[in-house]
Amino acid sequence: MKTLALYNLKGGVGKTAAAVNLASLAAEQGLRTLLWDLDPQGSAAWYLGFDSEDIGGMKRLTRGKIPIGDLIQPTRWPRLHLLAGGLSSRRLEQRVDQDDELLERLAAPLAEDYALLVLDCPAGIQPINDEVLRLADVVATPMIPSSLSVHTFGVLVQHLARQHMRKVRLYPFLSMVDRRRRLHRELVETLPREISTLLRTGIPYASIIEQMGPRRALLQDYAPHSPAALQYQALWTELRNRLGC
């Protein structure tokens, strides 16, 4: 099983939109895929049609009262399953604070059933995200083309160095790119020279992506041939090559 994390210490940058669309593309291509929504907001679960009362159980899981399989739910997409704790994911965050290998131990049995684990992370620098960074084979970081986002990415790189996590395979990609804005166009031009691991594919700022909210559906469902969906496909191809799955 390969593990792909969607992570940025910055919030609202397109982590969840990428996590659900990439996971559905992987499943569509035949990989048994588990999407683990680690964020107490439960946004990934929500996009997949689950309400907050459908998800939970992290307290029982972290206490060893139930096996992880009991919390996994099939979705309406073949080969795509969901694990989401909603607000109870706070409990997992608290336990990881005391036991920094907990996530790895919980995830170990998943390798029997899945070829790919996709982790949708909460924003921020906290112990659970540090464990994700150590665990993931590839960390994909959506980055809005703004000066502040570039600064925040630098802070993240600094954090990895301080935590002796230089081996983390961190791949930023541009997200919410609006070519009508001069600064966006400039950064699209210059950032590949500044950040050697920047993925070639950027995700455009597009109302068709925003529509995932009101539709509670994935791009593959309602606009699989749209330019935005094609960009997620190209992004998935780049990430799949790096994951080697």
Ligand X SMILES: Nc1ncnc2c1ncn2[C@@H]1O[C@H](COP(=O)(O)OP(=O)(O)OP(=O)(O)O)[C@@H](O)[C@H]1O
Interface residues with ligand X (CB under 6 A)? 11-17, 39, 43, 123, 175-176, 203, 205-206, 209-210, 212-213
* Cα 81 from Cα 162, distance rounded (Å): 35
- For 228-240, give the DSSP string: HHHHHHHHHHHHH
Quick one: 40 or 57, whose CB is closer to ligand X?
40
Complex with Mg ion: residue 29 or 126, whichever CB lies closer: 126
Nearest distance from C-beta of residue 167 to Mg ion, angstroms: 25
CB of 39 to ligand X, least distance (A): 5
What 3-state class would DSSP assign to 188?
A: helix
Nearer to ligand X, 11 or 69 (CB): 11
CB neighbours of 168 closer than 8 A, spacing ≥ 6? Answer: 133, 134, 136, 139, 160
Q: Indicate which of ligand X, Mg ion, none lies near residue 89 (CB less than 5 to 8 Å, by partner kind).
A: none
Q: Which is nearer to ligand X, 60 or 215 (CB)?
A: 215
Q: Shortest distance, CB of residue 46 to ligand X, whole angstroms? A: 10
User: How buried is 157 (Cβ within 10 angstroms: 0-12 exposed, 13-18 middle, 19+ buried)?
Assistant: middle
- Identity of the amino acid at 59: K
Residue nearest to Mg ion according to CB distances in the complex: 16
206 binds, among ligand X, Mg ion, none (CB under 5 to 8 A by kind): ligand X
Partner whose footprint covers residue 213, from ligand X, Mg ion, none (CB < 5 to 8 Å by kind): ligand X
Question: Whole-angstrom Cα distance, residue 104 to residue 98?
Answer: 14
Dmax (CA) for the chain in angstroms is 54
Residue among 15 and 245 whose Cβ is closer to Mg ion: 15
Q: How many residues does the chain have?
A: 245
Q: For Mg ion, give the closer residue by CB, 141 or 245.
A: 141
CA-to-CA separations, 87 to 47, 58, 61, 62, 203, in angstroms, rounded: 16, 9, 14, 14, 29
Per the listing, tokens 């993925």 go with 199
Least CB distance from residue 11 to ligand X, whole Å? 3
- Tracing tokens 């309400």 back to the chain, one arrives at 51
- Residue 135 binds: one of ligand X, Mg ion, none (C-beta under 5 to 8 A by kind): none
Residue 21 CB, nearest approach to Mg ion (Å): 13
- Which residues are at the interface with Mg ion (CB under 5 A)? 15-16, 43
CA pair distance 191, 174, nearest whole angstrom: 9
Smallest gap from Cβ 165 to ligand X, in A, equals: 21
Q: Which does 205 bind (CB under 5 to 8 A by kind): Mg ion, ligand X, none?
A: ligand X
* Chosen from Mg ion, ligand X, none, partner binding at 110 (C-beta under 5 to 8 Å by type): none
- Token pair, residue 234, equals 């190209």
